Amino acid sequence: MSSAVNPLRDAQDRRLPRIAGPSGLVIFGVTGDLSRKKLMPAVYDLANRGLLPPGFSLVGFARRDWEHEDFAQVVHDAVREHARTPFREEVWQQLAQGMRFVSGVFDDDDAFRTLKATIEELDKSRGTGGNFAFYLSVPPKFFPTVVSQLKEHGLSDGQGDSWRRAVIEKPFGHDLKSAQDLNSVVHDVFRPSEVFRIDHYLGKETVQNILALRFANTMFEPLWNRSYVDHVQITMAEDIGIGGRAGYYDGIGSARDVIQNHLLQLLALTAMEEPVSFEAKPLVTEKMKVLNSVRLPEDLAAHTVRGQYAAGWQGGRKVLGYLDEDGIDPQSGTDTYAAIKLEIDNRRWAGVPFYLRTGKRLGRRVTEIAVVFQRAPHSPFGATDTQELGQNALVIRVQPDEGVTIRFGSKVPGTQMEIRDVTMDFAYGESFTESSPEAYERLILDVLLGDANLFPRHQEVERSWEILDPIEEHWERHGKPEQYPAGTWGPAAADEMLARDGRSWRRP
Ligand code: BG6
């Protein structure tokens, strides 16, 4: 076998653990939810798995009047509550010795001077080597201040061989224009290769498995095109409501929250051509090609739907409607459900619709990509024999219950010819003993290693807004979202949208 054409040729090397070199992480917005529930536990889990250097250091930056010990205690509690791996005192002690807290607001020069001194002290005491990543877990309106402060105080440039990187959380803008503005603010200070934009879906094992499934096998790719595929459904359904996130969510809505990023990334990975390698640049090239070929339907009223959850029942419990949630404007027209149809104008996909949908307070939590195949061109069976036969489908179950299902028709045992759908299943839990790392573990480690493969570049972010903007503008001009009872599968209009195309949504 020629190694030059085998994209998985480095598999041997990849089995070696990838361990970050001397480094530290500074988190802005360290008192927020994301930091407590995801970032702090991920740092501990990485340390526990031996993937961080012994002197790794974690610096929190926030307004609170905390001492280093108070910060360490907060991290400790977050780790005890949310970490994936067991708590080990010796790992914790080593990590805790490298924890520092800097108290201040973002435009406070003294606080940034203290941050600089803290980093220099850590370089000496912990051997962090001047290598620091700055994680901006703050609303985008603070990006300009934080990045310009980093520049002003000489923190954005590494000395000699050391590196400085910026990690940016979504939302990355709320439309194309604001995303371009943010990109230019960040790129004034950091080089593109130093900027890591988080889309945590790309850190999920099952999302990376889309590439393995498609490009490490021979049996799927020949069918992966307009000759065999009828349509593709990408679903991200959540059973939760907006919880305590009214401030972030109201006015943003479901399409900006997850279609612009997670779902369009899933579409890109499902539909793109094989990249030359899985390095960042070739991956972006292929994702951009396919995102550039995405076309919106002309009639947005017929092919997009938005909804908002009303009160209902979920898990045997009565839950509030969106408009009654804490902190939500009772007149709010924010969507908590969105469904859109997209076409991809290229040779592989011409005429194959991609249906994307997402929603909060739906029937259950499930994210999946279903590639639904055409019916057989001719059936030698009678209509009654096949009345329970659906379309063949390959379903990538992103979460929960991670795996892949193939659905096909099979003869029901008995004397008659009767054909019914059956499934063949691959479940991660059964095939692998090791549990999947949390997305944030993978992504934080990649930042420290400078590995940019799983981070969307600014072109992708901007192109995704360019796709979504006309839909948002259309919705803004046309009334309010349709209400759907919590615990159901969204507004009736979404079913009608597919019915018009002679199709129906899967009920996962
Ligand atoms: C985030 C969204 O990006 O993803 C949230 O802002 C959503 O609204 C979350 O709940 C879902 O993530 P996961 O990993 O639980 O599917």
206-246 residue pLDDT tens: 999 999 999 999 999 999 999 999 999 999 999 999 988 89
Query: Can you tell me the mean pLDDT for 386-406?
Result: 93
Alpha carbon of 1 to ligand 1 centroid (Å): 42
pLDDT value, residue 2:
41
Q: Does 262 participate in catalysis according to the annotation?
A: yes
Closest CA to 475 of 305, 236, 339: 305
pLDDT tens, residue by residue, 403-444? 999 999 999 998 788 999 999 999 988 888 888 889 999 999
Number of neighbours of residue 112 by Cβ within 10 angstroms = 21
Query: Can you tell me the mean pLDDT for 23-33?
Result: 95
Q: Are 190 and 166 in contact (CB under 8 A)?
A: yes
Q: Is the pLDDT of residue 381 over 80?
A: yes
What is the rounded average pLDDT for all residues in the chain? 93
pLDDT value, residue 4:
45
Options 174, 262, 303, 458, the catalytic residue = 262
| CA triple 16-2-289, angle to 5 deg | 80
204 is in an annotated binding site: yes
Closest residue to atom 11 of ligand 1, CA basis = 238
Atom of ligand 1 nearest to the CA of 399: 16
Residue % of the chain over a pLDDT of 90: 86
Q: pTM above the 0.75 mark?
A: yes
Q: Is the pLDDT of residue 1 over 90?
A: no
May I ask the CATH architecture of the domain 202-437+457-499? 2-Layer Sandwich (3.30)
Closest residue to atom 4 of ligand 1, CA basis = 258
Alpha carbon of 293 to ligand 1 centroid (Å): 27
May I ask the CATH architecture of the domain 22-169? 3-Layer(aba) Sandwich (3.40)
Q: In the chain, which residues fall in CATH 3.30.360.10?
A: 202-437+457-499
Burial (CB count within 10 angstroms: exposed 0-12, middle 13-18, buried 19+), residue 229: buried
Closest residue to atom 9 of ligand 1, CA basis = 258
| Alpha-carbon dihedral 215, 216, 220, 225, rounded to 10 degrees | 10
pLDDT value, residue 12:
43
Query: Predicted confidence band at 15 (pLDDT cuts at 50, 70, 90)?
Result: low
Q: Are 221 and 215 in contact (CB under 8 A)?
A: yes
Q: Is the pLDDT of residue 27 over 90?
A: yes
360 is in an annotated binding site: yes
463 is in an annotated binding site: no
Q: In the chain, which residues fall in CATH 3.40.50.720?
A: 22-169
Alpha carbon of 337 to ligand 1 centroid (Å): 13
CA 167, CA 112: separation in Å to the nearest integer?
A: 18
Query: Can you tell me the mean pLDDT for 390-413?
Result: 94
Alpha carbon of 417 to ligand 1 centroid (Å): 46
CA 147, CA 168: separation in Å to the nearest integer?
A: 11
Residues belonging to the chain: 508
37 is in an annotated binding site: no
Residue ranges of alpha helices (H) inside 50-203 are 68-82, 89-96, 109-126, 143-152, 176-189
* Contact partners, residue 29, CB within 8 Å, separation at least 6: 35, 61, 62, 136, 137, 138, 142
Residues having CB closer than 6 A to ligand 1 are 200, 238, 257-258, 367
Query: Can you tell me the mean pLDDT for 19-23?
Result: 95
Most confident of 381-395, 425-439, 461-475: 461-475
pLDDT value, residue 16:
61
pLDDT value, residue 11:
44
